[in-house]
Amino acid sequence: MLSQILRSLTRCSAASLRRVTVQKCSIHRLHPTKPAGRSLAPRCRMLSTPPPQVNESHLSMEEYHNLADEAMDNLLETMETLVEERGDADQEVDYHSGVLTLNLGKHGTYVINKQPPNKQIWLSSPIRYANSHPL
C-alpha cells in the first residue's frame, strides 16, 4: 500500500516537472483618465539570476602569498615523489612562476596556479572545468 502511494506521488511529481507553465505578463499603461496611484510594474514577478556569491578573504596579500607558496611547494614535492615512484617517462612535473603543471601523458595535463587577485588557487583538469579554491 505504502509503495503504491510512493509510486503515484513520484509519477505525479515527475509529471509536474515535465509541465512547463507560461504566464503572460501585462504592464499597466499610463492613461490620463486612470488614477495616478496605479502601478506601472508588471503584474507577474520577473525572475533573474541571483547575485554571484563572493567569498571575501580576510587575508592580507602577504598572508595569501605565504600560504599559497607553502601549498604549492607541498604539492610540487608530493607530485615529484609520486611521478618518480611510478617511473613513467610520459609523466612529468614542472613548476614556474606560481604555475604547477602535471603532465600525465595519455591521462592529460593538470595545471594548478595561484590567482592573487581572487586569493585563490585554481585547478584546471582534462576531466572537469577549472575549479577555484579560496584560501
List the chain domain ranges.
61-134
Any idea of the CA torsion for 44, 45, 48, 53, to the nearest 10 degrees?
Answer: -170
Query: When comparing pLDDT for 44 and 5, which is higher?
Result: 44
3-class secondary structure, 74: helix
pLDDT of residue 20: 41
- For the ranges 16-25, 30-39, 58-67, 79-88, the lowest mean pLDDT is seen at 16-25
pLDDT digits (tens, 9 = 90+) for 70-129: 999 999 999 999 989 988 888 999 999 889 999 988 889 999 999 998 888 898 888 865
* 120 DSSP β-pair partners: 115, 134
Average pLDDT of the segment spanning 53-76:
87
* DSSP helix/strand/coil, 58: coil
Span 23-41, average pLDDT: 50
Can you give the pLDDT at residue 19? 42
C-alpha distances in Å from residue 43, one per residue of 39, 46, 80, 123: 9, 9, 62, 45
Low-confidence winner among 30-39, 49-58, 85-94 (lowest mean pLDDT): 30-39
As a whole number of Å, the CA-based R_g of the chain is 28
For residue 100, the model assigns a pLDDT of 94
The better pLDDT of the pair 2, 37 is held by 37
Which whole number is the average pLDDT over 6-11?
44
What is residue 102's predicted lDDT score, i.e. its pLDDT? 93
Fold of 61-134: Metal Transport, Frataxin; Chain A (3.30.920)
